Structure 1
């Protein structure tokens, strides 16, 4: 899947002021990204914790990122991934890794359990490929069958 350029971005006010951005890409996809956990996890992003500083961003001239005056920027592809993860459209790699650890699975065991290739599992863990909703649902189904 090819990720396009960002065509629109606005701060979404709400319960967590200054941490969410509504984005639109030139492929027609729209989504909201909550950057609160990213900002909290990285000291270098501390300036963005201030609501006024957070609002001070723009779409880069080429459309491939959003940039803040403090020097922070996030690329189109990463923002697209976060929007899809947060919307429940794809599975975050950390959740997939946690599923494998919960079941004490190797790459081979996960591949066998899900009917996928070992290489595909490795791509998911390295975040080279997004983990589609079908795989996310398959992990939930696996958990449900094991619990039954």
Structure 2
């Protein structure tokens, strides 16, 4: 069974974007702006100050925020890793395109 990645470090880059380091050494940028723009539970994260105030969960399984009413907003390490890898692939593809 493949071991799921864990988050070791994360830092705020700009509103909606985090730089994350996983326990296997992979470093990636994750653009969460499309997720935040969906609203609903993510509406809390539309305020830059709120987005910046994240924590890494114990054992690095997720990154999370606590909303105004105490609700937890968590994004798991595996999905963040997948999103980071996919965004990096797309960025490389776009860089090779000639217009």
- Shorter-chain TM-score above 0.5: yes
> Is the contact between residue 5 and residue 81 of structure 2 (CA under 8 Å) also seen in structure 1?
no
**1:25 is matched with which residue?**
22
Higher relative contact order (CA 8 A, sep 6+): 2
Matched, 1:12 2:13: yes
* 1:55 Cα deviation from its structure 2 partner: 0.6
Q: What is the distance in 1 between the residues matched to 2:79 and 2:21?
A: 13
* 1:54 Cα deviation from its structure 2 partner: 0.2
Q: What is the distance in 2 between the residues matched to 1:42 and 1:83?
A: 21
More strand by share: 2
TM-score under structure 2 length normalisation: 0.80
* 1:2 Cα deviation from its structure 2 partner: 3.7
Number of residue pairs the alignment of both structures matches: 86
Classify the secondary structure of the residue corresponding to 2:58: coil
Classify the secondary structure of the residue corresponding to 1:74: strand
Matched, 1:69 2:70: no
Gaps of 5+ in 1: 90-148
TM-score under structure 1 length normalisation: 0.54
In the TM superposition, structure 1's runs of 4+ consecutive aligned residues that sit over 3 Å from their partners are: none
- Rg larger in structure: 1
Q: What is the distance in 2 between the residues matched to 1:57 and 1:79?
A: 14
* 1:4 Cα deviation from its structure 2 partner: 1.7
Q: Alpha carbon RMSD of aligned pairs, Å? A: 1.7
Matched, 1:82 2:83: yes
> Is the contact between residue 36 and residue 46 of structure 2 (CA under 8 Å) also seen in structure 1?
yes
Gaps of 5+ in 2: 91-99
Q: What is the distance in 2 between the residues matched to 1:22 and 1:50?
A: 18
